[in-house]
Structure 1
Amino acid sequence: MSVSLSPARHLLVIGGYGVVGTAVVDLMTKTPGWQLTTAARRSPPASLLDGSPAPAHIRVDLLDAASTQQAFADLASVTDLVFCAYSERESMAASVAPNLAMLDHSLKALGQAGAKLQQVVLIGGGKSYGEHLGPYKTPAKESDPRFMGPIFYNDQEDLLWRTAEREGFAWTVLRPDGVMGPSLNSPMNILTGIASFAAISQALRLPLRFPGSLEAWTALHQATDSRVLAEAVLWALTTANARQQVFNVTNGDHFRWQQLWPQIAGFFGLDSAAPQPMNLGVQMADKAPLWAAIVDAHDLRQTPLEQIAAWPFVDGWLNAGYDMVQSTIKIRQAGFSGCIDSHQSVLEQLQRLRDYRLIP
């Protein structure tokens, strides 16, 4: 059963222009009945990817409690929060404190500003099941016991639940996996990483070789289309069944790189060739000038290679040589039906990258 929208609902999206935030902002700017504000460490883009004006934006260092309080001082009208900010660190242990602090400072600053939150949606991920550690129990379910940390998702969830109980707002945790979609100046994006690798292969007149492990080439994997995730966010904000719940969110199917990779090659007009495992962090270390030349030759958005691809992130994704499967039964039984064929998702999202002049 859906909750009727108040005309006064004001949504704050923290982490507004990563791959998740970009999709949420894109959907919410087109959804009547919402006032939208974004917040992030970086400045907002001059316009959204479709050319429409960006919503009101607050530039803030969420790691600084005092600065966050000052930046959020005028946000008393905020009623809803989507938190999808992330701070990358050198290890899982090192990532706990900063990512917990950003959520903590955000919630406290909104409270200090006088905001009366109704709903908070926290974006988590598959690492909640230990998939970054190696083979794990599949299909993974929200009811599975936690594994031994460090894992900042657990700390963020505990903080959210304590604060919600004390302050009286509702919460939903969404756990996507492998989010596919466009983003601006946000290199933690598997799609832009693969696309830039393919564009560089194209420029060098090479076939497209899968650079991950041979085990990953044949393993069963999953992804979450950023548009499906944004729809799940809107559903969580407006549906009573989503309150005080954790949900996995994926496309609803699975894929193997060995079957998807030739279609990616075909999108770029390339032949695919036998996989060639490589360390992309090493192989792409000298490719920034070539990427800059590609950008100029094709009149693309001026995006440096380090802002379109985080190669260690891509390496991690393409070397997961085991099944990655999360159950989505719970969210479907709760009423969310969003889904998409993963092959279709990748090809459509690559076309969006091309339409937005992010890739040739």
Structure 2
Amino acid sequence: MSTTQNCALVVGVTGMAGLSIAQALRNPTAQGGPWLIYGAARRPKPTWFPSSAVDHYITFDAVNFDDTYTTLSPLSSQITHVFWAAIYVGQTEEDNIKINSIMLSNVLKVLTAHTRPIKLRHITLQTGTSQYIGPIHFTSPSDAAQHEPPFHEDMGRLPYPNFYHVLEDVVKSYGSDLTYSIHRPSIIISALTRSVYNFLLTLAVYAEICKYQNAPFKYPGNRYTWEHFCDMSDARVLGEQHVWGATNEKAKNEVFNCTNGDVFSWKKMRGFLCEEFGVEFVPLDEGGGLFDLVEEMKDKENVWDRIVEEKGLVKLKMEEITCFAAVQTVLRFNFQLVSSMNKSKEFGFLGYVDSFKSVRFWIGKLRDMKIIL
């Protein structure tokens, strides 16, 4: 390998963002390329993972320092860039802070421990819009203090424990030895089976169950999100921004929102999803209270198993590929989930995609992968 070649370590490569980062690096026109790409995950390579996305697929448990050291220390003289898309989600934010900070700290300690000068030059760190809205999974959105949308990168930290803050502090603690770029997506849209928060696949599974049972495809949100604006982040745009952030001098030590660049209402998106999934559009009706998707799906695991078996879909357990509680939480916000892309554009990143075209594209991918019909 040429000593001047950029070498990437994508941590969390089997997630929606991680795979898209690897694919963006693999693009023949990728800035800083051609890249040597190591894709890292905790578990062995899944059958659906496109081997062409990385040069080497490696596994280690980043919580375990010895395992991390054994795997990464031989690579410390090669890796120039870390792309951090890993995430641990625990029962409390304190758990999240502890485990996520250990993971990141272990990786950076190993890669900077022995090589002088340090080969590692830059880390892209993925966080998200919880930076602006607080701990939505542990505090009622109506009770939480939050910033007023549209969200801007210079908004200060909210007075809650947040593992994003700790990750930023870990990266910044390296000072001039390591530059960084921080990337804050909104609702990430992609087509993978392995992800903690897979919004589109969750809605797709719910739609398939509705079709199978001839049941209405109800909206589990409130009137506010039904009528007001929201945004999302196509994983392809997110991957491109990570690579851009890693290779542009102007982007060093900066924070950037990353969305598709447009907004939509869930009323309109709901109608679009009904057409794409082939289910009847059911207008929002709050007369009997909000529809509880989490409760509705509690006993549907066997229904999904029958669908998978009868339709010849990939054998995936519903609990492993859905996040009903997270979807319901987001759809019951009482504020507009909208982030400004002005800073990103001003600094030179112009990636964008139409959100409706994005959703159609990824639904098509889910069908190609035989995850849905």
The alignment's TM-score, normalised by the length of structure 1, stands at 0.92
Partner of 2:11: 14
Q: Is the 8 A contact 2:5 2:35 kept in 1?
A: yes
Query: Could you say if the C-alpha distance between residues 281 and 239 of structure 1 is closer, same or farther in structure 2, counting changes exceeding 3 Å?
Result: same
Query: Structure 2: how far apart are the matches of 1:323 and 1:189?
Result: 20
Deviation at 1:35, TM superposition (A): 0.9
Deviation track 1:6-37 (CA, whole Å, cap 9, x = no partner) reads: 86211001011111112112322334501111
Query: Structure 2: how far apart are the matches of 1:177 and 1:55?
Result: 29
Q: 2:247 aligns with which of 238, 245, 249?
A: 238
Query: Structure 1: how far apart are the matches of 2:351 and 2:53?
Result: 27
Partner of 1:259: 268
Deviation at 1:347, TM superposition (A): 1.7
Q: Is the 8 A contact 2:101 2:167 kept in 1?
A: yes
Structure 1 residue identity aligned to 2:221: G
Structure 1 residue identity aligned to 2:9: L
Secondary structure of 1:73's partner? Answer: helix
Query: Structure 2: how far apart are the matches of 1:106 and 1:121?
Result: 13
Deviation track 1:225-276 (CA, whole Å, cap 9, x = no partner) reads: 1111011111112211111100111111111100110110111111111236
Aligned pairs, how many?
A: 353
Deviation at 1:75, TM superposition (A): 1.2
Structure 1 residue identity aligned to 2:84: F
Q: Is the 8 A contact 1:221 1:325 kept in 2?
A: yes
Deviation at 1:55, TM superposition (A): 4.2
Structure 2 residue identity aligned to 1:67: D
Greater mean alpha carbon deviation, residues 276-285 or residues 119-128? 276-285
1:155 aligns with 2:166: yes
Deviation at 1:201, TM superposition (A): 1.0
Query: Structure 1: how far apart are the matches of 2:182 and 2:304?
Result: 37
Partner of 2:120: 117
Partner of 2:181: 172
Query: Structure 1: how far apart are the matches of 2:220 and 2:305?
Result: 22
Greater mean alpha carbon deviation, residues 224-233 or residues 315-324? 315-324
Query: Structure 1: how far apart are the matches of 2:259 and 2:194?
Result: 24
Greater mean alpha carbon deviation, residues 154-163 or residues 289-298? 289-298
Secondary structure of 1:273's partner? Answer: coil
Q: Is the 8 A contact 1:16 1:84 kept in 2?
A: yes
Q: Is the 8 A contact 2:241 2:351 kept in 1?
A: yes
1:262-273 map, 5 Å? 262-273=271-282
Query: Could you say if the C-alpha distance between residues 334 and 6 of structure 1 is closer, same or farther in structure 2, counting changes exceeding 3 Å?
Result: farther
Deviation at 1:63, TM superposition (A): 1.2
Q: 1:351 aligns with which of 354, 358, 364?
A: 364
Query: Structure 2: how far apart are the matches of 1:26 and 1:298?
Result: 30
Query: Structure 2: how far apart are the matches of 1:140 and 1:69?
Result: 38
Structure 2 residue identity aligned to 1:136: H
Q: Is the 8 A contact 2:149 2:336 kept in 1?
A: yes
Q: Is the 8 A contact 1:219 1:323 kept in 2?
A: yes
Query: Structure 1: how far apart are the matches of 2:257 and 2:277?
Result: 32
1:290 aligns with 2:303: yes
Q: 2:26 aligns with which of 22, 25, 29?
A: 29
1:212 aligns with 2:221: yes
Q: Is the 8 A contact 1:121 1:172 kept in 2?
A: yes
Partner of 1:42: 43
Deviation at 1:53, TM superposition (A): 6.8
Partner of 1:88: 89
Greater mean alpha carbon deviation, residues 295-304 or residues 17-26? 295-304
Q: Is the 8 A contact 2:38 2:58 kept in 1?
A: yes
Partner of 2:103: 102
Query: Could you say if the C-alpha distance between residues 63 and 348 of structure 1 is closer, same or farther in structure 2, counting changes exceeding 3 Å?
Result: same
Partner of 2:148: 137
Q: Is the 8 A contact 2:147 2:155 kept in 1?
A: no
The alignment's TM-score, normalised by the length of structure 2, stands at 0.89
Deviation at 1:85, TM superposition (A): 0.6
Query: Structure 2: how far apart are the matches of 1:266 and 1:304?
Result: 25
Query: Structure 2: how far apart are the matches of 1:113 and 1:209?
Result: 56
Deviation at 1:332, TM superposition (A): 0.2
Deviation track 1:146-173 (CA, whole Å, cap 9, x = no partner) reads: 111201111110110112x15x222100
Partner of 2:131: 128
Query: Structure 2: how far apart are the matches of 1:7 and 1:41?
Result: 29
